[in-house]
C-alpha cells in the first residue's frame, strides 16, 4: 500500500515535508509487520488529533504580533502524549505531524508508557526579547491547555526551547488549574521538579547507542574520529561524551557554519566560545570549512544532531563515516537512506538513537508523580540500561530479518503500538 497517496485534505500535497518522509518509512515497514497487525497499519498514517492555534502577543513596542502554533497528538494507544515543543520559523503542521509520529514510534521502541505528540510555534525566537518570549510561551500554553495534563499530554524541550520555557509552561498550566502541576511538562529546571541527568540525556543516549553499534562493527571509540552536526542540547552533549571517551571530535557544524581540526577539537572550549560569540566560527584551534565540505570530512562516526533533511542525495555519496547516528529527528531523507544502505554505512535511526531524552523525561514524570527524586547515578544507570537493551533488540531483529536498523526499529515500535490498538479494540 502506498501511504503517501493517503494525504489528508488539510495538508498540501506539494508541501508535505517531513510528513512525507515518515509516510515513506511506514511504506517500507509495512511488509515486515506481523501479519495480524498489518491491517491496522493505516492507523499510523493519520494523527489522532491536531490543534492549530493563533498566538497573539503584545510586543515590547506596544504593537500586536500573531504567530501560528500547533500541538499534534499522533497516537495515544500506549499512554498520554509525549513530545517536545519547537520554536522555529519553518514550523508547519506537516512538520509537527511528522515529529509527533516519530515520538509514537520512539516511545514504543524504548517501551516507555507514552503515546506520541509534538508542538511548535512558527517563530524566530532570536527576534524576541525575553519578555516577549515569555508572553509567547504563556499564550501558546494557554491556547493548547485543553490538550495538556500529566495524564493527557506532556510537552518537553525541542529546538529553541529550554528549561526556562518549560518552567513558564508549568507555571501557566498551574495557574489555570489552581494548583502546582509539576508533571505536565518535562525538561524543567531541577529546582522545579526537573530530573538530574535530563540536560545531557539525549546526547548520552546518542553516545551509548553509538558505542553499542561500534562494538558490533569492530570499531573502537577511543581514537575514533567524530563529526557532529548541531551543537545544541543534543550535539554538544554527544560531542563532549565522545571526547571524554577518547574519541577525536574532528568537525562541528552549527547554523552559522562549520569548523574542523583533524587532530581533534576542544569541545568544552568550543562551547565556551559559542556561548560567548553565538557561533562556532573562531573557536580555539579550529579552521572554518564550507558547510558543504563538512559532509566529506574524514571521520569514522557522523552524528547528525541539528534538523530534518540534512543528509540528502546531495551529500550522502560524500560521507566517509562508517557509522551515522541520528541525534536529530528525521535528518536523513528516504532517498539518502537507500544510498547509505547501498554503501554499507550503518545508520542508527533517530527513533532509537535520540530516545535518551524521552527516557529521562519519563523518569522525570515518574519522579514528579511520586514526589520522590533519584540520584544522577541511578538515572544514568537506568538510562544506559534501557538504551542498551533497546539497541540490542533492534540490532538482533535487523540481523534476524536481514533489514536495516531503521526498519527494524520501526517494526519493533509500530508492532507495540498496533498490538495496543488490537487489545483495546475499536471504540465504540
**Residue of 329, 346, 359, 407 interacting with ligand NAD (CB under 6 A):** 329
For residue 118, what are the β-bridge partners?
Answer: 72
Only one of the segments 35-43, 134-142, 326-334, 387-395 lies at the binding site for ligand NAD (rule: CB under 6 A); that segment is 326-334
Nearer residue to ligand NAD within complex by CB, 50 or 206: 206
Beta strands per DSSP E along 180-247 = 225-229
Cα 285 from Cα 249, distance rounded (Å): 12
Nearer residue to ligand NAD within complex by CB, 134 or 254: 254
Nearer residue to ligand NAD within complex by CB, 160 or 418: 160
Element (DSSP H or E) covering residue 355:
none
The yes-or-no answer on residue 118 being catalytic is yes
Catalytically annotated residue among 48, 82, 106, 118: 118
Tell me the CA distances in angstroms from 164 to 153, 183, 199, 233, 400, one per residue in order. 19, 15, 12, 14, 45
**Residue of 77, 307, 340, 398 interacting with ligand NAD (CB under 6 A):** 307
Cell of residue 181, nine digits: 502541576
Q: How many residues bind ligand NAD (CB under 6 A)?
A: 23
Judging by beta carbons within 10 Å of its beta carbon (0-12, 13-18, 19+), is residue 225 exposed, middle or buried? buried
Tell me the CA distances in angstroms from 67 to 72, 129, 156, 185, 302, one per residue in order. 17, 15, 20, 22, 35
**What would the x/- binding string for ligand NAD be over residues 224 to 243, using CB under 6 A?**
-----xxxxxxx--------
Q: Interaction with ligand NAD in 245-304: which residues (CB under 6 A)? A: 253-255
Shortest separation between residue 9's beta carbon and ligand NAD, angstroms:
27
Shortest separation between residue 235's beta carbon and ligand NAD, angstroms:
6
Only one of the segments 31-39, 47-55, 243-251, 323-331 lies at the binding site for ligand NAD (rule: CB under 6 A); that segment is 323-331
Nearer residue to ligand NAD within complex by CB, 234 or 397: 234
**What would the x/- binding string for ligand NAD be over residues 149 to 168, using CB under 6 A?**
--------xxxx--------
The b/e string for 244-275 (b: 16+ C-beta within 10 A; e otherwise) is eeebbbbbbbbeebbbbbeeebbbeebbebbe
How are beta strands 287-289 and 257-260 bridged, if at all? antiparallel
Are the beta carbons of 161 and 84 closer than 8 angstroms? yes
Shortest separation between residue 176's beta carbon and ligand NAD, angstroms:
26
**Residue of 328, 340, 351, 418 interacting with ligand NAD (CB under 6 A):** 328
Half-sphere exposure of 118 (CA within 13 A, CB side): 26
Q: Interaction with ligand NAD in 194-223: which residues (CB under 6 A)? A: 202
Q: Residue with the closest Cβ to ligand NAD? A: 232
Active site members: 118
Q: Which spans of this chain sit near ligand NAD (rule: CB under 6 A)?
A: 157-160, 202, 229-235, 253-255, 305-307, 327-329, 354, 357
Amino acid at each position: 500500500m502506498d501511504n503517501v497517496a493517503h494525504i489528508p485534505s488539510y495538508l498540501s500535497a506539494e508541501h508535505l515535508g517531513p510528513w512525507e518522509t515518515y509516510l515513506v518509512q511506514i511504506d517500507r515497514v509495512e511488509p515486515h509487520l506481523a501479519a495480524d497487525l498489518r491491517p491496522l497499519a493505516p492507523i499510523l498514517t493519520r494523527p489522532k488529533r491536531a490543534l492549530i492555534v493563533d498566538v497573539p502577543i503584545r510586543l515590547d513596542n506596544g504593537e500586536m504580533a500573531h504567530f501560528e502554533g500547533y500541538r499534534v497528538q499522533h497516537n495515544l494507544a500506549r499512554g498520554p502524549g509525549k513530545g517536545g515543543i519547537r520554536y522555529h520559523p519553518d514550523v508547519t503542521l506537516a512538520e509537527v505531524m511528522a515529529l509527533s509520529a516519530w515520538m509514537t514510534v520512539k516511545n514504543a521502541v524504548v517501551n516507555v508508557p507514552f503515546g506520541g505528540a509534538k508542538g511548535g510555534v512558527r517563530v524566530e525566537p532570536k527576534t524576541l526579547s525575553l519578555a516577549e518570549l515569555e508572553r509567547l510561551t504563556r499564550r501558546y500554553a494557554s491556547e493548547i491547555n485543553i490538550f495538556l495534563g500529566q495524564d493527557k499530554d506532556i510537552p518537553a524541550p525541542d529546538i529553541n526551547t529550554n528549561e526556562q520555557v518549560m518552567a513558564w509552561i508549568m507555571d501557566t498550566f498551574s495557574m489555570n488549574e489552581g494548583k502546582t502541576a509539576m508533571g505536565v511538562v518535562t525538561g524543567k529546571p531541577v529546582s522545579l521538579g526537573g530530573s538530574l541527568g535530563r540536560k545531557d540525556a539525549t546526547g548520552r543516549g546518542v553516545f551509548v547507542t553509538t558505542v553499542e553499534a561500534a562494538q558490533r562493527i569492530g570499531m573502537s571509540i577511543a581514537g575514533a574520529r567524530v563529526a557532529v552536526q548541531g551543537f545544541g542540547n543534543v550535539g554538544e552533549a554527544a560531542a563532549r561524551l565522545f571526547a571524554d571517551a577518547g574519541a577525536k571530535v574532528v568537525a562541528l557544524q552549527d547554523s552559522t557554519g562549520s569548523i574542523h581540526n583533524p587532530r581533534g577539537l576542544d569541545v568544552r572550549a568550543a562551547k565556551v566560545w559559542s556561548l560567548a560569540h553565538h557561533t562556532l566560527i573562531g573557536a580555539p584551534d579550529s579552521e572554518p570549512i564550507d558547510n558543504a565540505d563538512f559532509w566529506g570530512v574524514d571521520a569514522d562516526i557522523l552524528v547528525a544532531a541539528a534538523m530534518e533533511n540534512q543528509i540528502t542525495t546531495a551529500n550522502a555519496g560524500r560521507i566517509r563515516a562508517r557509522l551515522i547516528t541520528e541525534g536529530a529527528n528525521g535528518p536523513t531523507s528516504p532517498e539518502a537512506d537507500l544510498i547509505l544502505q547501498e554503501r554499507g554505512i550503518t545508520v542508527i535511526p533517530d527513533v532509537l538513537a535520540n530516545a535518551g531524552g524521552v527516557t529521562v523525561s519519563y523518569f522525570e514524570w515518574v519522579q514528579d508523580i511520586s514526589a520522590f527524586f533519584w540520584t544522577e547515578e541511578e538515572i544514568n544507570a537506568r538510562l544506559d540500561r534501557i538504551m542498551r537493551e533497546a539497541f540490542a533488540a533492534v540490532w538482533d531483529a535487523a540481523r534476524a530479518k536481514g533489514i536495516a536498523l531503521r526498519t527494524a526499529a520501526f517494526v519493533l515500535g509500530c508492532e507495540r503500538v498496533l498490538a495496543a490498538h488490537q487489545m483495546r479494540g475499536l471504540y465504540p
